[in-house]
Amino acid sequence: MISENPVINQILDAYKPIWSVAHASSLMGWDFQTYMPKGGTEERGVADSQLQLLHKELLLGKDFVALVESGKKAEHLSDEEKGIIRMLDRNISRQLKVPKELTEAEALESTVGNMVWREAREKSDFKMYEPHLQNMIAIKKHVANKVGYEKHPYDALLDEFEEGLTVNDLDKVFGVLTPKLQKILKKLVDSGSPFCKESNLTQRYDIQKVDELNRQILGLLQFDMERFRVDVSTHPFTDAMSLNDVRITTRYEGSDFKRSISSTIHEAGHALYHLQCDESLSVTPVEGATSLGLHESQSRFWENIVGKSRPFIQLIAPLIRKQLDFANQATDNDLYLYFNNVKPDYIRVDADEVTYNLHVALRYEIEKKIFGEELAVSEIPQYWNDRMEELLGVSPTEDSQGVLQDTHWSSGLFGYFPTYTLGNLVSAIIASKMQMGLEEYQENIRNGDFTSIKDWLRLKIHRYGSVYAPKPFLRQTFNEDYNPDYFVKYLETKYEAQ
């Protein structure tokens, strides 16, 4: 990008080494989770933390900060230029507010705490992990105080993942969403809906065959393989080294093949956000997604709204029947019900579209209470189990299936969970607006023609990268906020249709 404003050009030039360090870290992170031999862990840890320090030093260097300050005073900036200043100012001020000792304490606790959490989860022993959770929460409370907030300390943590997000916003969201989801779930379970019936397609599979299926499905979505690749890792993720080198991973547990397919489509949705960002934003602070919620809206749109829709299942059904012997007699409807099976259960990552956000609601309530000083760490497991029973009608008997199931808290990620729900809500807003504009939407999916859908996403969302903050972006593009009504309507229509 070349600007007419000399200060912006200076900023973008000075940003290149900062971007490059992040690029290297990103590549190392991808390598760590895919191909690095285990033996390299310790030295990689050294290199990684040194690169992070270097990144911070460059970003907070006097000259660079002064440049950004003069950028803040510049007049007649374009939206892209304002976005660049906004993003840099946000990063710099957050890092300046949190003292070095606190950042180091958090990094240390997340390494040690994460190791203890792993063991505690294996042994299903919350007591073992409790002192570390206590310590991490104490650190995050300090962080929240240093970062600052207007109303609720938790706001300071939410903002890190979703710019401008507050407890006030989320109370409004879950106040509507939670009871409606409970109602939809109850109706499905009580009526013995076909969506709730166990499918005989849930069984062991040949990994090579599902790998082939995943590749065929990505082929249908027509990804540019010159700029994109797929590998395997324990936990699937998307990592964009740049706008022209975007990588996803998938996983093969060996049973229940829909999980591998859904996860591949999910990550492909994330990848598309980067692949369709405007080329002019490359190597600038505004390339890529504007927030975690918006990022997740893209993955969920493809994974669920497209990937689990009837026309999409009809499209991939012949491929599935051909690859998997045990599915060769399955009808399109069998496959549709299999992909959309609803089952209240303990584990968030395995949850269906109806119950998923109830899992998030539970974590949101707990996090809000912790940072509002309404819940002690020792009370979390009991609160968890009781509330699970109320929300989903199931209650885990072991902490490994309850409070110890997610890695987030041990890594200091408080304020992260709600962005999953925001992603779901925004994906439904997008689907609704898109279908109003694209008459052939269903027909195109059935025919495997995704060009108009991809173009729509590129024009309305992807090309802007993070030029706009998520809230103003939703307002100006869709005239909406994180409105849960679209998602509720989407679920009602889908699950009442059977």
Provide the annotated active-site residues.
267
| Closer Cβ to Zn ion, 142 or 251, answer by number | 251
Residues, the chain: 498
Specify the 3-state DSSP secondary structure of 57. helix
Q: Which residues of 92-117 are buried (b: 16+ CB within 10 A; e: fewer)?
A: bebeeebeeebbebbeebbeebbebb
Question: What does the binding site for Zn ion look like in residue numbers (CB under 5 A)?
Answer: 299
Q: CA-CA distances (angstroms) from residue 329 to 291, 308, 321?
A: 43, 20, 7
Specify the 3-state DSSP secondary structure of 246. strand
CA angle 305-310-316, nearest 5°? 95
Lookup result for tokens 């997610």: 406
Lookup result for tokens 């994460």: 114
**Bridge partners, 250 (sequence order):** 232
Question: How near is the Cβ of 307 to Zn ion at its closest, in Å?
Answer: 13
| Closer Cβ to Zn ion, 249 or 299, answer by number | 299
Q: Which residue intervals of 202-281 are DSSP H helices? A: 207-220, 257-275
**What is the C-alpha separation between 496 and 187, in angstroms, rounded?**
9
- Categorise residue 449: left if φ over 0, alpha if ψ from -120 to 50, beta otherwise: beta
Backbone phi and psi for residue 15, each to the nearest 5 degrees, phi listed first: -80, -25
Please provide the DSSP assignment of 46-90 as one string. HHHHHHHHHHHHHHT-HHHHHHHHHHHH--S--HHHHHHHHHHHH
38: number of Cβ within 10 Å: 5
**What is the C-alpha separation between 247 and 267, in angstroms, rounded?**
9
**What is the C-alpha separation between 498 and 493, in angstroms, rounded?**
9
Lookup result for tokens 């027509």: 222
Question: How near is the Cβ of 266 to Zn ion at its closest, in Å?
Answer: 6
Specify the 3-state DSSP secondary structure of 249. strand
Question: How near is the Cβ of 116 to Zn ion at its closest, in Å?
Answer: 26
Tell me which residue has its CB nearest to Zn ion. 299
**What is the C-alpha separation between 50 and 454, in angstroms, rounded?**
39
**Bridge partners, 230 (sequence order):** 248
Which distant-in-sequence residues (6+ apart) come within 8 Å of 61 by Cβ? none
Question: How near is the Cβ of 290 to Zn ion at its closest, in Å?
Answer: 15
What single-letter DSSP state applies at residue 357?
Answer: H
Question: How near is the Cβ of 270 to Zn ion at its closest, in Å?
Answer: 6
476: number of Cβ within 10 Å: 9
**What is the C-alpha separation between 381 and 291, in angstroms, rounded?**
30
> Do 30 and 246 touch, CB atoms closer than 8 A?
no
